[in-house]
């Protein structure tokens, strides 16, 4: 098992910089996801850790040892690719045993460990088959077995689930989490799917354009996005330009065009230092849409403003409403109680200030 | 109506292509001492005479040694060149690729004369080595075309997976890349062998005095008379140059089947 440290690593392809100076601590046994849209540099970062790309600058350490100059076949890493990359000319058992041969493990021991690995991925009986004779999901489990049977220091996964269809993907997600827990291996997981990252990770590294936007536990990244990019990338968010009118020990006072005056608890606006323009982020699920003047008193903490439903996006269990409030169009995702509001309906939009957050980046 | 015409036409085209070959095979079993119709009986005497003809046997040995050496050398160079061109960032990759394929496009006579003139300029004498070099140059493009096409289809991540599991680049080549490349390597060798075995134009230019390959031997014999032995020799050649690739394909199929298709 190993901890991974990236120190200001940079990757340039000619004049193009794919990864800007990036530093990251991955503690031993952690499950860390690199999350971001296509082309943001996730694969490039992973390939630098793997030793498939040389960083243009910076150091990579595993267990405190600098490994920049260690070639990939001496790094002792487990690598799993999107397209499984099994050896088509070898049986499943031979595929899984492949890495053990280079570690001087004798035949008898090899057989035992292959069997254990196949049991771990719940495919004990396919050893004699060839990769083509397995389904995509099964092939990916074998790829995982092949990577972990060598007891690598770190497991590196590049979108391992994205070639699978939706149902299978969720099963495999649970499976992957179970296996990672069972063997407690340090794991770096690359994905562009926020649901995957939220479900699996101890820590999420959100990337955009070769830069780290935010690092944090799934809950932190989700509820307290640091930047507009993070707020929008992880689910639907409303970003409202606001003016900070004053702060004290426990609260921050704001003014914005949709909700008027708001008073936020200090911990929801940790970055605010004084009066000035800021960006307020509110998740679509945190805005509740109710009939005008509906019961369920507007609590002391809750603000309520009138609005008009402009568009309804019916999703079965929930609906996504686009509501006009003053000059702003707000997005709200609400459970449907009875029947959804119709387009053009006059409604009240309610918000608890403590569900808002102020972004770290300047307005 | 139209279909019948088309079918008839197709049969005619095939007859045109294969009838001469069938005639040669048929006449090689003719008992008559003339290498032409009418057939007077079935006999193997021309094959026996063939087997006793020292000149022909020598030509056969030369052709087989030449063919085998050509195929081994050409395939080795071809595989290495393809690897370099496909897997590494070689500068001027396209230019080199075109250059390697060029011998297919240049008329063989021109190539033959060019190589000869080149060696004259260096005042090197004709030799078996020169003949071999000529055949290698001439067969290399076929090997490269076949191997490159296959190599492009081998995913890089399979090799990367092997390296991540502890295989050095060389071990990765022998344990992963080469086995996956095997059908193309095999096909390349067959191509090189049959092309070399068949070749006459270049061979006539390059061969040193006194050395004959099967095609040049037939050519020399034809100058005197059409002996029925030539028919027998033709039959043997047909079985070698057509049978070998067919057998090769069958073996390759069986190998592929074993791996689940
Ligand atoms: N070998 C290369 N040469 C030049 N540019 C490259 C190379 N590899 C990657 N890039 C560029 O670097 C950027 C980051 O690529 P990378 O593959 O890391 O993206 P990614 O985050 O993994 O995206 P995806 O989700 O699509 O896989 C992209 O803009 C890509 O075009
Ligand atoms: Mg990628």
- Using the beta-carbon criterion (under 8 Å), do B260 and A83 form an inter-chain contact? no
Which among B160, B180, B260 has the least Cβ separation from residue A79? B160
The answer, yes or no, to whether residue B260 has pLDDT greater than 60, is no
With cut-offs at 50, 70 and 90, classify the pLDDT of residue B242. Answer: confident
Of all atoms in ligand 1, which is nearest to the CA of residue A45? 18
Mean pLDDT of chain B: 85
Residues of chain B neighbouring A50 (CB-CB closer than 8 A): 160, 164
Is residue A158 within 6 Å of ligand 1 at its C-beta? no
Atom 10, ligand 1: residue with shortest CA distance: A18
**How many degrees, rounded to 5, is the angle at CA A179 between CA A173 and CA A183?**
150
The answer, yes or no, to whether residue B256 has pLDDT greater than 70, is no
Question: In chain B, what are the domains?
Answer: 16-52+227-239 (no CATH), 54-208 (1.10.3720.10)
Chain B residue with the nearest C-alpha to that of A82: B157
Distance from Cα A241 to the centre of ligand 2, integer Å? 33
Chain B residue with the nearest C-alpha to that of A157: B161
Is residue A43 within 6 Å of ligand 1 at its C-beta? yes
- Using the beta-carbon criterion (under 8 Å), do B161 and A146 form an inter-chain contact? yes
- % chain A with pLDDT above 90: 67
- Using the beta-carbon criterion (under 8 Å), do A73 and B180 form an inter-chain contact? no
Distance, CA of B246 to CA of B190 (rounded, Å): 10
Distance from Cα A42 to the centre of ligand 2, integer Å? 6
Distance from Cα A94 to the centre of ligand 2, integer Å? 28
Nearest residue to A11 (alpha-carbon basis) of A42, A34, A52, A44: A44
The answer, yes or no, to whether residue B261 has pLDDT greater than 60, is no
The answer, yes or no, to whether residue B100 has pLDDT greater than 90, is no
Q: Model-level pTM?
A: 0.82
H or E stretch at B106: none
Which of the ligands is closest to the CA of residue A44?
1
What is the per-residue pLDDT for B1?
66
Residue A133 C-alpha, separation from nearest chain B C-alpha, in angstroms: 6
Is residue A15 within 6 Å of ligand 1 at its C-beta? no
- Using the beta-carbon criterion (under 8 Å), do A129 and B168 form an inter-chain contact? no
Residue, of B79 and B238, whose pLDDT is higher: B79
CA atoms within 13 A on the CB side of B96: 14
- CA distances A345 to A13, A215, A311, A329, A361, Å, are 53, 40, 10, 15, 35
Note the ipTM here: 0.84
Our mutation pick for probing the ligand 1 site, out of A20, A39, A205, counting the most ligand atoms within 8 A of Cβ, is A39
pLDDT-flagged residues of chain A (< 70)? 1, 296-300, 362-363
The pairing of beta strand A57-62 with beta strand A65-66: antiparallel
- What DSSP line would sit under A251-299, residue for residue? EEEEEETTTEEEEEEGGG-TT--SSEEEEEEEEGGGSEEE-TT-SS---
> Cis bond leading into B38, ω under 30°?
yes
- % chain B with pLDDT above 70: 95
Residues of chain B neighbouring A14 (CB-CB closer than 8 A): none
Residues in chain B: 261
Per-residue pLDDT, averaged over B149-160, amounts to: 92
What is the per-residue pLDDT for A112?
95
- Using the beta-carbon criterion (under 8 Å), do A75 and B161 form an inter-chain contact? no
Distance, CA of A341 to CA of A165 (rounded, Å): 33
Residues of chain B neighbouring A73 (CB-CB closer than 8 A): 163-169, 172
Cβ–Cβ contacts within 10 Å for residue B36, how many? 12
Phi, psi of A243, rounded to the nearest 5 degrees = -115, 130
Distance of CA A159 to the CA centre of its chain: 12
Residues of chain A neighbouring B179 (CB-CB closer than 8 A): 89
What is the per-residue pLDDT for A66?
94
The position carrying tokens 């006793």 is B52
Distance from Cα A52 to the centre of ligand 1, integer Å? 13
pLDDT in tens, A316-362: 889 999 999 988 899 999 998 888 888 998 999 999 988 899 888 76
What is the per-residue pLDDT for B51?
79
The answer, yes or no, to whether residue B248 has pLDDT greater than 80, is no
The answer, yes or no, to whether residue B26 has pLDDT greater than 70, is yes
Are A304 and A349 in contact by the 8 Å Cβ rule? The answer is yes
Q: Find the largest Cα–Cα distance for chain A.
A: 76
Which among B165, B179, B180 has the least Cβ separation from residue A102? B165
């Amino acid at each position: 098992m190993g901890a991974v440290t990236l120190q200001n690593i940079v990757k340039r392809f000619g004049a193009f910089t794919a990864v800007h100076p990036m530093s990251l601590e991955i503690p031993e046994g952690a499950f860390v996801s690199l999350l971001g849209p296509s082309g943001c540099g996730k694969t490039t970062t992973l390939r630098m850790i793997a030793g498939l790309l040389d960083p243009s600058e910076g150091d990579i350490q595993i267990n405190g040892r600098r490994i920049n100059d260690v070639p990939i076949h001496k790094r002792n890493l487990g690598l799993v690719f999107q397209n499984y990359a099994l050896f088509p000319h070898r049986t499943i058992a031979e595929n899984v045993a492949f890495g053990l041969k280079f570690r001087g493990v004798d035949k008898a021991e090899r057989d035992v460990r292959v069997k254990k690995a196949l049991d771990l991925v719940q495919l004990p009986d396919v050893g004699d088959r060839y990769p083509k004779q397995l389904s995509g999901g099964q092939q990916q489990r074998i790829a995982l077995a092949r990577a972990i049977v060598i007891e690598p220091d770190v497991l590196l996964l590049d979108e391992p689930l994205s070639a699978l269809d939706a149902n299978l993907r969720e099963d495999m997600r649970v499976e992957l989490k179970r296996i990672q827990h069972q063997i407690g291996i340090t794991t770096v997981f690359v994905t562009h799917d926020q649901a995957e990252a939220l479900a699996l990770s101890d820590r999420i590294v959100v990337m955009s354009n070769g830069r780290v936007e935010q690092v944090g536990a799934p809950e932190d990244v989700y509820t307290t996005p640091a930047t507009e990019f993070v707020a929008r990338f992880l689910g639907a968010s409303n970003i409202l330009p606001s003016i900070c009118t004053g702060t004290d020990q426990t609260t921050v006072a704001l003014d914005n065009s949709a909700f008027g005056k708001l008073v936020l608890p200090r911990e929801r606006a940790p970055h605010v230092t004084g009066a000035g323009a800021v960006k307020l982020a509110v998740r679509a699920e945190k805005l509740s849409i109710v009939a005008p003047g509906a019961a369920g008193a507007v609590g002391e903490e809750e603000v309520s403003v009138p609005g008009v439903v402009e568009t309804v996006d019916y999703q079965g269990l929930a609906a996504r409403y686009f509501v006009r409030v003053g000059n702003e169009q707000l997005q709200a995702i609400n459970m449907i109680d009875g029947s959804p509001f119709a387009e053009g309906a006059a409604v009240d939009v309610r918000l608890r200030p403590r569900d808002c957050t102020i972004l770290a980046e300047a307005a | 109506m139209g279909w019948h015409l088309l079918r008839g036409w197709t049969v005619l085209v095939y007859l045109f292509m294969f009838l001469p070959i069938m005639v040669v095979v048929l006449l090689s079993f003719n008992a008559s001492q003339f290498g032409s119709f009418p057939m007077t009986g079935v006999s193997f005497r021309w094959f026996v005479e063939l087997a006793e003809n020292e000149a022909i046997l020598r030509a056969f040995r030369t052709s087989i040694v030449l063919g085998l050496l050509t195929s081994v050398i050409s395939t080795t160079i071809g595989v290495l060149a393809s690897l370099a061109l496909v897997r590494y960032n070689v500068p001027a990759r396209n230019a080199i690729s075109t250059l390697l394929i060029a011998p297919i496009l240049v008329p063989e006579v021109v190539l033959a004369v060019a190589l000869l003139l080149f060696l004259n300029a260096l005042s090197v004498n004709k030799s078996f080595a020169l003949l071999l070099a000529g055949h290698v140059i001439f067969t290399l493009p076929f090997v490269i075309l076949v191997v490159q096409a296959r190599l492009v289809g081998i995913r890089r991540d399979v090799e990367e997976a092997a390296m991540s599991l502890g295989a050095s680049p060389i071990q990765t080549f022998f344990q992963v890349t080469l086995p996956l490349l095997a059908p193309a390597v095999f096909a390349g060798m067959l191509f090189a062998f049959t092309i070399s075995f068949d070749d006459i134009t270049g061979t006539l230019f390059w061969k040193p005095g006194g050395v004959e390959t099967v095609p040049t031997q037939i050519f020399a014999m034809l100058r005197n008379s059409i002996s029925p032995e030539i028919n027998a020799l033709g039959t043997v050649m047909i079985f070698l140059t057509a049978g070998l690739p067919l057998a090769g394909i069958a073996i390759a199929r069986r190998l592929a089947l074993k791996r689940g298709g």
